[in-house]
Structure 1
Amino acid sequence: MSPSTSPRFFSEKEVARHRTKDSCWVLLGTRVYDVTGFLRMHPGGEALILRRSGGDVSGEMEGPPHRHSENARRWMEQYYIGELQRDCSSSSSAEDCEEEQTLRERRTTPQKTAEKEDDDDSCSYSRCKPLDLDKDLVDWHKPLVWQVGNLGENYDTWVHQPVDRPIRLFGNPFLEATTKTPWYWVPAVWLPIVFYFSWQWCTTLAQESTRLSLTSDYSVPIPVYSFPVLFMAGWFLWSFIEYCIHRFLFHLKPPAHNYYLITIHFVLHGQHHKSPFDGSRLVFPPFLAGIVVAAFYFFLQKTLPEGLCLPVFVGGLSGYVVYDMIHYYLHYGSPKKGSYMYGLKAYHVKHHFEHQRAGFGITTTFWDHPFNTVIPDEKF
């Protein structure tokens, strides 16, 4: 709802009727929100919201167990649809009715309210209001890729205030299409390569002619049953690369004065933080992933003895495929509460909405511990 539009009013009975997956409304005080489109995105699972649908979620927003961040509150404002109109009957006190009427009159004069909020330093526009397409720092009606570089020192704050709307990077339809990848392209492109190299390595070793040279005069045969060990070593190595790319490349803060580095950062990862539930940009496009995969292969080829490169490579490549699939699931899946994936989803959502400088692990939080980037536990 536009800030300049007078709100609609709903009765308590009308709000209470919307308690299904097809139509789910909640209250935050007297404000009414239609969160139907957010159900599958909620880190706690859709059942958690459905159990509280039709009612006030103010207590859950404040916690415990989880105090929602300012970004989460701003995100919720995108689903605001109107105000609650309570029945001021004899069961309600005169003071409550008078307060309700005053609040209603205030919210039906949005221009005056907006001016008051603009004068309040503790509640800036960027953190307390829903996205206003006409007042945002960029023009959402045009491709964003050529605009974000002009944000300068405002870029880092702007890009880490997520919105629930699609992003158009390029005006050219072909360029725009290359930035979007359905999730199933990842296993479709890379798993055949994993299977081919695995088969090639195992059939070669089955001939018992491949040996590992330990010295110039001594070598040992490489048994076929070493494949699982080397495969898992590659997978473990990928988990470290995954962490490093996410932390040191994707979250490298570009200099405020450098238009080009800001633009590159936005294309690589900033757009994902700005629109974290854009399903077409949750996995790597094959051509971009191919650069990383090729670099990984040549690195292993130069550093590992002959005969060990392939199993480590396919293990790492498999780790990448699982990484992209898990990343997609963390945004759109509904894991069972208490499961490993449930914990990962909650961890990753905190990274997006509250702790952008921590929580860089996607498939595992293992590397966050030695590098001291673990998202801290909440304290009440």
Structure 2
Amino acid sequence: MENNNINQRRKPNNKGTKRLFKNPMLEKMTRTHISVPISLLLAYAAGMLIWAIYRTNVPVSNSVALYFLGLFSFTFVEYALHRFVYHMRATTERQRKIQYTMHGVHHEFPKDKDRLALPPVISLSIATALLFLLRLVIGDYTFGFLSGFVTGYSLYLFMHYIMHAYPPPKNFMKKLWVYHSIHHYKDETVYYGVSSPLWDFVFGTVYK
């Protein structure tokens, strides 16, 4: 019987790490300190918001509204990517290898702090690609929207990191730690939202 579930194949190891590539350059690119992508992405987002306000004809109020729309939109994209891409139903060995490289290694070694974010060069490349693509569709409205979207990704990286690196706080935020722990240690088919559990409740992917 084929196993399509990452955690069915490998149990979490909270103290370990694993080499993914024999090539040292490729292996190095899979690791990054969390402060590097967060700092670069927040600077990127700030630059786009400043551009939206001072270098376009879009009203400031509209740019601010688009910023928050982008921030909210990221929570859905985060959920969808985590559920349908990172936890895709791998049916071939190649798909399983891709899945493991993208996300399975994180499930096997959830406390490996250097692998809690995409390498900065990949994150910035994706953000820049989105910038060009969205400009073709919505023009100057892109800057406000994408600024919020990238900020959302930065907040996700921060939340994901502290959930794995620190114990839960003694306040309402504790539930986010609990949900993510359930995803990692009990049932990986629930709680795909990290920065927000909203879409898990909307689509019913909560722990029964």
TM surpasses 0.5: yes
Where does residue 367 of structure 1 map in the other structure?
199
1:343 aligned onto 2:194: no
1:316-360 deviation line (CA, Å, top 9, x unaligned): 0110111111100111123322322x1101110110011101110
- Judged with a 3 Å threshold, the aligned counterparts in structure 2 of structure 1 residues 192 and 172 are, in CA distance, closer, same or farther, namely same
Structure 1 residue corresponding to 2:59, chosen from 200, 219, 223: 223
1:163 aligned onto 2:7: no
Rg bigger for which structure? Answer: 1
Structure ranking higher in strand proportion: 1
Structure 1 residue corresponding to 2:137, chosen from 266, 278, 303: 303
Contact kept in structure 1, 2:4 and 2:89, CA below 8 Å: no
1:39-59 deviation line (CA, Å, top 9, x unaligned): xxxxxxxxxxxxxxxxxxxxx
Q: Partner of 1:153: helix, strand, or coil?
A: coil
Where does residue 264 of structure 1 map in the other structure?
98
1:119-153 deviation line (CA, Å, top 9, x unaligned): xxxxxxxxxxxxxxxxxxxxxxxxxxxxxxxxx93
Q: Partner of 1:318: helix, strand, or coil?
A: helix
Over the aligned positions, Cα root-mean-square deviation in angstroms equals: 1.8
**Percent of aligned pairs with the same amino acid:** 29
Structure ranking higher in helix proportion: 2
Structure 2 residue corresponding to 1:240, chosen from 73, 76, 97: 76
Where does residue 153 of structure 1 map in the other structure?
2
Unmatched segments (≥5 aa) in structure 2:
none
1:355 aligned onto 2:181: no
Tell me by how many angstroms 1:309 deviates: 1.3
4+ aligned runs moved over 6 Å, structure 1: none
Distance 2:72 2:28 in 1: 33
AA partner of residue 173 (structure 1): P
- Does 1 or 2 have the higher relative contact order (CA < 8 Å, sep 6+)? 2
Distance 1:299 1:335 in 2: 39
Tell me by how many angstroms 1:295 deviates: 4.4
Relative to the length of structure 1, the TM-score reads 0.51
Q: Partner of 1:323: helix, strand, or coil?
A: helix
1:323 aligned onto 2:117: no
Aligned residues between the structures: 205
Distance 1:324 1:360 in 2: 14
Where does residue 21 of structure 1 map in the other structure?
none
Where does residue 38 of structure 1 map in the other structure?
none
Relative to the length of structure 2, the TM-score reads 0.90
Where does residue 137 of structure 1 map in the other structure?
none
